[in-house]
Amino acid sequence: MPQDERDQVDRRTLLKAVGGATATVSIAGCGGSQTTPTEGGDGTETAMDTTEGDEGTETSNEGDESAFEVGVTLGQMDSGLDPHDHAETPTNIIVSQAYEGLMGRDKEGGIIAKLATEWERVESGTVRFTLRDGVTFHNGDPVTSEDVRYSIRRIETEEVGGALPQDGDLAGSKALESVEAGDGEVTVTFGGLNPIVFALFATNGQIMQQSWVENNENSYINRNTNGTGPFQVTDYQSGTSVSYEKYDDYWGEPAAADEATITASSESATRVNQLVAGETDIVTNVPPQEISRVEGSEGTSVSPVPSTRIIFLQMRYDVEPFSSQQFRQAMNYAVDVESIIENVLQGFGEVTGQPTLSQFTGHNPDIEPYGHDPERAEQLVEESGHAGVDITLQTPIGRYLKDVEVAQTAANQIDSLSNVNCELQQREFNSLVQDVTASSIEDRPRFTLLGWGNAEFDAAQTIIPLLTSDGPLTVLKSDEVDSLIQEAQSEPDPEARRQTLRECNQLLHDLAPWVFLHQQFSVYGTSDDIEWQPRPDELIDLWTASPN
Amino acid sequence: MSLGRLAIKRSLQGVGVVWGVITVVFALRFITPGSVINAVAPLDASRETRRAIAADLGLDQPIYVQYVQYLADLARGDMGHSYVKGLEVTRMVFQRVPATVELAVAATIVAIVLSIPLGVLSATRRNSPVDYGATLFSLGGISTPNFWLGIMLILIFAVQFNVFQTSGRGVTSVAVLTSLVGPEPFVGTLLEWLSYITLPAIALGTYFMALITRLTRSGMLDELGKSYVRAARAKGAPESLVRYKHALRNTLIPVITVLGLQLGTLIGGAVITEAVFAWPGLGTLVIQSINLRDWPALQGSLIVIGTAFVIVNIVVDIIYGYLDPRVVYD
């Protein structure tokens, strides 16, 4: 065969082969990962292993027309399913459907019984929990006091759980000394009086099965669950979706939903599109510009709720001009918070005048917010001796609801004072946090917009980290504040402690280490097909959702 | 140079490029502001907790130790564990690959099916309204950002008319194929699959479609003006034979080259489209990893994307040399 003819034949053959190969690759490439984790384990896993493949799992209710299903779209997925190995809200929402603690919270933030039926302080540093009978993990094994002991120690003791970010979430500032597992009860001893120990246990400390944790790798625990909650995970797609089904042997009132799915989209427009198109039932963080679209669509509505997050501008006490109390107060008078709430946040916010929100223990109802008074602000700037000063406000981008717009408006209002020039600097959040959490106060930003969530509903959980001399994020050093907080934290009588915290809040209002802005609202978009009320602690309790 | 030697040479160059990608991506974490500890620990974590977490993740080691360790792990096929999720990165990444490949292939199919006939039609009816329409269409396709097109497609076809899903993946193509033999109804499964993939495939494939249309049109015009076409016509060969058997076949050689290269680009370039459609592929993983400062997951994703691109380039290079004997590689 001549050379050119042979080449021609080869080329044709190859073109055909390429065509065939492309088709084959298309089909093969379109295949999902069929992996179903069955590795590891102690034999108990197989009862509740979740599948992790693209095919998903057909649940028992598949095809059942009467099954009630709920879908949620968050802004971000979980950071693994280990309930102790995270410190952020999306993961908490996802694991809380399957895991529970000894205590919990109701819709208003009040403490309720979960796996413990009773709790008492037996000594100043010792508390005892009576465990609920007849509770089982999703693999069918009963919950024992040893499991509870192990879970508490896993969070608080590095030798047991390693370096977990929830370290201190149960013990607070008092180190865990011992946990004793008795017959149907658990006794926990700390290194001293912890007045908010029950508030901490009501928010943190989900219970895991000791043998299940010890017999599995971390990576397995991060993609499977074995809790006691009303839902059990049936399918886990890391970073994409989590599917649940109702746990039939749940100890409490069973969930109305037979199945639930949580997905995420970082784009708020995508979340709203899903809701409006009827593909999901609950979406989080509907931005103000999308509210009219949700309200205007048939079958969807907006459900706002005051959250446990406060937004403020913090000022470093040790540098000029913020070292002047008069100047700090002037900044509070300069910013028109009501206007920000009305015009930037579409009304979804509440003016604050102290670091403690109105639903929290220690809130002082007698404190009035500063109010907008530019003339008074200019006068205080003059009196402080810093007239003509240039300052720069730093703000994170996209961390809090409309953060850049809020900071821009506040900076403009300060800049409009005749004797202060204020500029705005926008910063990527992780980069800003690097500075905000710097070990030395000298390395922290001077004037920054920040937000703080406090799921324990207690004033001390905001004031201690942010406003006491040794707080990891503090911008203030005040012996009076330190002393009042110390007094509150060693006060066993709740009413006396509440009075001390109120006094502390009054002092902080006067010292004005922050420009007190607003209480952020959580704005959910919900389908009219379901009945569900949002809660202030940003948790989404799908077990309370019912068909409408 | 023989084809075998060419393949070996290109493969070795490819290994060098992938190593470069690994090194650059690894270095990026040390020049990017912010710390992974802030993504893992709460804001009010004590210094001791932060130090313990850093030690736990191996971040307290010198950079060169971390680098050598990473290369050694990679050589064993271990991309490490996600800082944030605690999962094996190899698993996380390869779980996302099918979705990305599926979208890239679907976008390519959408592009090919529409672009080649349009390009041929445009060339054979030069200066006609069809040609002007095709030119305008391809200009629009090249000029339209795919994220904007994606948003518009969602608003019109998913939200307004409710024909397609707004986002997500739903069923896979494997589920469609298995429904042929399984208990699930084939048509229903196919329609559900199409309801998820159509819009992202159009959004991602439009630029590609416009590119191939232009390439086919200019290639066809070029070929139709050549002497062998005149000779074929002079011999009395039917016009359809001249156009589709002779001219189009020669036009397709550069088109196949671009197709191959573009497939590599689609695998790596679907980041924005995946984000708009919440498509659970590598692009979404890249964005999630950046947001969470999850460097092992980000490194793993970028290495896989980079490697895929290099492999596709090498294969196209070799195929091109094979298809066109006039190409000489020194």
* Residues of chain A below pLDDT 50: 1-15, 17-49, 51-63
**Whole-number pLDDT of residue A40:** 35
> Which residues from chain B sit within 8 angstroms of residue A82, using beta carbons?
86
> Which residues from chain A sit within 8 angstroms of residue B99, using beta carbons?
32, 54
**Whole-number pLDDT of residue A519:** 94
Other CB atoms closer than 10 Å to residue B245's CB: what's the count? 13
Q: What Cα–Cα distance (Å) separates residue A37 from each residue in A45, A52, A442, B229?
A: 10, 7, 50, 60
Q: How many Å lie between the alpha carbon of A27 and the closest alpha carbon of chain B?
A: 8
Are residues A165 and B52, on separate chains, in Cβ contact within 8 Å? no
Domain A306-522 has CATH 3.10.105.10: yes
Q: What is the mean pLDDT of residues B104-122?
A: 88
What pLDDT band is residue B141 in, cutting at 50, 70 and 90? Answer: confident
Residue from B43, B228, B271 to probe the interface with A (highest A Cβ count within 10 Å): B43
Residue A501's nearest CA partner among A519, A517, A487, A513 is A487
Per CATH, the homologous superfamily of domain A100-210 is Dipeptide-binding Protein; Domain 1 (3.90.76.10)
Q: How far apart are CA A495 and CA A499, in angstroms?
A: 6
Residue B156's nearest CA partner among B192, B199, B196 is B199
Q: Is A276 on the interface with B (CB under 8 A)?
A: yes
Q: Where in chain B is the domain with CATH 1.10.3720.10?
A: 91-281
> Which residues from chain A sit within 8 angstroms of residue B284, using beta carbons?
239-240
Which is it for strands A176-181 and A231-237: parallel, antiparallel or unpaired? unpaired
Burial of A350 (0-12, 13-18, 19+ CB in 10 A): middle
Beta-carbon contacts below 8 Å between A and B:
198
Q: Is A428 on the interface with B (CB under 8 A)?
A: yes
Q: Is A187 on the interface with B (CB under 8 A)?
A: no
Q: Can you read off the two tokens belonging to residue A204? A: 């943190």
Q: Is A484 on the interface with B (CB under 8 A)?
A: no
Q: Is A217 on the interface with B (CB under 8 A)?
A: no
Are residues B166 and A439, on separate chains, in Cβ contact within 8 Å? no
Residue from B79, B174, B286, B323 to probe the interface with A (highest A Cβ count within 10 Å): B174
**Whole-number pLDDT of residue B237:** 80
Q: How many Å lie between the alpha carbon of B241 and the closest alpha carbon of chain A?
A: 17
Of B33, B91, B173, Cβ closest to residue A31 = B173
**Whole-number pLDDT of residue A23:** 45
Q: Which stretches within A157-196 are classed as H helix? A: 158-161
**Whole-number pLDDT of residue A50:** 52
CATH number of A231-299+528-547: 3.40.190.10
**Whole-number pLDDT of residue A27:** 41
pLDDT single digits (tens) B308-329? 888 888 887 777 777 666 666 6
Q: Is A383 on the interface with B (CB under 8 A)?
A: no
Q: How far apart are CA B125 and CA B132, in angstroms?
A: 10
> Which residues from chain B sit within 8 angstroms of residue A472, using beta carbons?
43-47
Q: Can you read off the two tokens belonging to residue A440? A: 């030395």
Q: Which stretches within A87-144 are classed as H helix? A: 89-96
Are residues B172 and A55, on separate chains, in Cβ contact within 8 Å? yes
Treating both helix axes as pointing N-terminal to C-terminal, what angle do A288-296 and A268-276 enclose, rounded to 10 degrees? Answer: 10
> Which residues from chain A sit within 8 angstroms of residue B168, using beta carbons?
241, 263, 274, 279
Q: How many Å lie between the alpha carbon of B163 and the closest alpha carbon of chain A?
A: 10
Cis link prior to A321 (omega < 30° from 0)? yes
- A25-64 residues touching B, CB cutoff 8 A: 25-27, 29-35, 52, 54-55
Q: How far apart are CA B228 and CA B223, in angstroms?
A: 9
DSSP B39: H
**Whole-number pLDDT of residue A393:** 92
Are residues B86 and A82, on separate chains, in Cβ contact within 8 Å? yes
> Which residues from chain A sit within 8 angstroms of residue B174, using beta carbons?
30-32, 34, 54-55
- Domains in chain A: boundaries: 100-210, 231-299+528-547, 306-522
**Whole-number pLDDT of residue A36:** 34
pLDDT single digits (tens) B33-86? 667 777 677 777 777 777 777 777 777 788 888 888 888 888 888 888 888 777
Per CATH, the homologous superfamily of domain B91-281 is MetI-like (1.10.3720.10)
Q: What is the mean pLDDT of residues B89-110?
A: 88
Are residues B42 and A79, on separate chains, in Cβ contact within 8 Å? no
Nearest C-alpha in A relative to B320 = A11
Residue B272's nearest CA partner among B150, B142, B103 is B150
Q: How many Å lie between the alpha carbon of A407 and the closest alpha carbon of chain B?
A: 21
Are residues A79 and B85, on separate chains, in Cβ contact within 8 Å? yes
Q: What is the 3-state secondary structure (H, E, C) of A394-424?
A: EEECCCCCCHHHHHHHHHHHHHCCCCEEEEE
Q: How far apart are CA B52 and CA A474, in angstroms?
A: 22
Higher pLDDT, B251 or B200: B200
State the residue for tokens 């039939």. Answer: A248
Q: How many Å lie between the alpha carbon of A371 and the closest alpha carbon of chain B?
A: 30
Of B47, B86, B97, Cβ closest to residue A219 = B86
**Whole-number pLDDT of residue A44:** 36
Q: Can you read off the two tokens belonging to residue B39? A: 């993504």
**Whole-number pLDDT of residue B260:** 76
> Which residues from chain A sit within 8 angstroms of residue B151, using beta carbons?
269
